[in-house]
Amino acid sequence: MEGPFFLRSVLVVLVAVAGVYFIDRRRQQQKHALLPPGPPGSPHARYPPRLIQSWIEQYGPVISLRQGNDVLVIIGRHSEATQLLEKQGACFVDRPHSVAGSEILGRGMRFMLLSTCDRLRRFRKAAHTHFQPKATLAYDADQTSFARNIVIDLLDDPESHQSHVKRFSGSVTLRVIYGKTTPVSLTEDPCILHLKRMVPVVQGALLPGAYKVDHFPILRYIPWYGRQLKKWGEEEFKALTSWLSQYKSQMMTDSGPQSVAKEIVTRTVTEGNFTEQETAYFLGSLVGAAFDTTQVAISTIMMAAARFPEAQAVVHAQLDAVVGREAPPTFAEWVSLTELQAFILEALRWRPVNPFGAPRRASKDVFWNGYCIPAGATVFGNHWSIARDPDVFPNPEKFIPKRWIGPDGNINNDLKAYSFGFGRRTCVGSNLAIRSLYIASATIFWAFRVREDVKRPIDDTAFVPGIVSHQKPFSLLFEPRMDAAHLREVMGTLGKAA
Ligand code: HEM
């Protein structure tokens, strides 16, 4: 009696499993039949921004690439990015599950790679507290002083302009996060040296298909797989935890100025909100996210100044009228320097820091215009193409800062190039970043006319592709707008006093 009953049960289970499998497969096929159009090609390849732009022009505002069940959706127009990533943002809060980047490299605690979970909610809440506009005012004096150091560095060694900007970015970042008040050295500061090594590794892991283990998670348990990846993960863990313990032991003798670390460490003690390791990764993730992006953005502004001298002249005229020639700019003049603000916005649109955008994961099927973005798809709001949407930015290849100024002469805050991302995963450090871009470029423009060297013309398309797209080395000339010795004196004395 038991034999046939057992066989019947097995048969029923098999039929049920097969039924579920076929229904699911059919559903997948139906959904894939509804995918937005797109070119043939692997969803894992790294495509140059201009190629993606040509696909958007050919196939439409939302395109897809597919291989098996892996689907990549790229949103390349402004209105569709707003409709999907902002208005239906709840469906795109998640990041693609990343074994390599998140679990191995970041022990599940790297901010940028967090999936939707309680930890993400706590990290974002803490970041909002520390980077809301009022909180970032605390760093104005040091940001101003570091910006003036760039001018002195440029007078000493104009060739290394990209390094000077990097030093500014590193100094501001470590000041804000860990309360380090002295400017950093790019060649000696252990934190900067670690970032130089690790930031490209972490950013690389963000690109879809960067590591096989993201598709075959079992690989992580094979001892000889990804030895280097595991080593980097270990190195990162040691670095971030040692920065935190150094900070804590320093706090014992001197509680130091306001910084994110100070707030978090004190709160961890009083509220127990973050574990020790979470604190280390929270702070380390902020440093990693801030250092590279800020530096690339300022170098883009400098590149644009040299390439578009008429636009730079407009900024100079307003700087001279508002700030005068006696003392360099401060944050007090920011609101009045609309031409500079517009120049910065246009530079970020012209050469976005993150041309691909950052990956999201659709958490459920999203239907749009008769198409389906299936649950599990990796979705990018492509900054490069969105910033070139001709309906929003007429003559998109032209550098026109005036497009950002409304008829009332103020910055048009309704216009967005989405340089800091979309919806619920938008950049948490944008207030601080914008303040850094402002004070660095205001100070450099006040001091210099930035020029292209005719003997070494700039290739303004020479960027290294990646989540953060760096300029390749390029030449600039910095022509002091006053006597160089006087300029040095003004920056030195006022820089220190700031
Ligand atoms: C010019 C400078 C910067 C640019 C262009 C920039 C851009 C971005 C972009 C595009 C994203 C992804 C948003 C999305 O998924 O849609 C992002 C995320 C992030 N940014 Fe920034 N960023 C800059 C500076 C900073 C600074 C100064 C900080 C911190 C102090 C910071 C911290 C972060 C963090 C932690 C995330 C991850 C947020 C999350 O995944 O929920 N960024 N940023």
Q: Among positive and negative, which fits the CA dihedral 358, 361, 363, 369?
A: positive
pLDDT, the chain, mean: 91
Ligand 1 pocket, 361 CB below 6 A?
Answer: no
Q: Is the minimum distance from the CB of 424 to ligand 1 under 6 angstroms?
A: no
3-state SS class at 163:
helix
Residue 86, pLDDT > 90, answer yes
pLDDT in tens, 216-255: 889 988 888 889 999 999 999 999 999 999 999 988 888 8
Residue 309 DSSP one-character state: H
Contact (Cβ atoms closer than 8 angstroms) between residue 193 and residue 327: no
- Mutate which of 345, 349, 379, 420 for ligand 1? The one with the most ligand atoms within 8 Å of its CB, which is 420
Ligand 1 center to residue 165 CA distance, Å? 18
Ligand 1 contact, 281 CB (< 6 A): no
Distance 455 CA to ligand 1 centre (A): 36
Ligand 1 centre to CA of 202 (Å) is 14
The mean-pLDDT minimum among 26-40, 306-320, 453-467, 472-486 falls in: 26-40
pLDDT-based confidence at residue 425 (cuts at 50, 70, 90): very high
Please enumerate, by residue number, every residue annotated as part of a binding site: 427
Give the DSSP H or E segment for 276.
helix 276-307
Residue 364 has pLDDT above 90, yes or no: yes
How far is Cα 422 from Cα 211, in angstroms, rounded to an integer? 26
At 152-201, the pLDDT tens digits run 999 999 999 999 999 999 999 999 999 999 889 998 999 999 998 888 88
The Cα 331–Cα 329 span in angstroms is: 7
- How high is the pLDDT of residue 486? 93
The reply to whether the predicted model has a pTM over 0.85 is yes
Query: Distance from the CA of 289 to the center of ligand 1, in angstroms?
Result: 6
CB distance 105 to 236 below 8 Å: yes
Q: What pLDDT score does 495 carry? A: 47
| Residue 120 amino acid letter | L
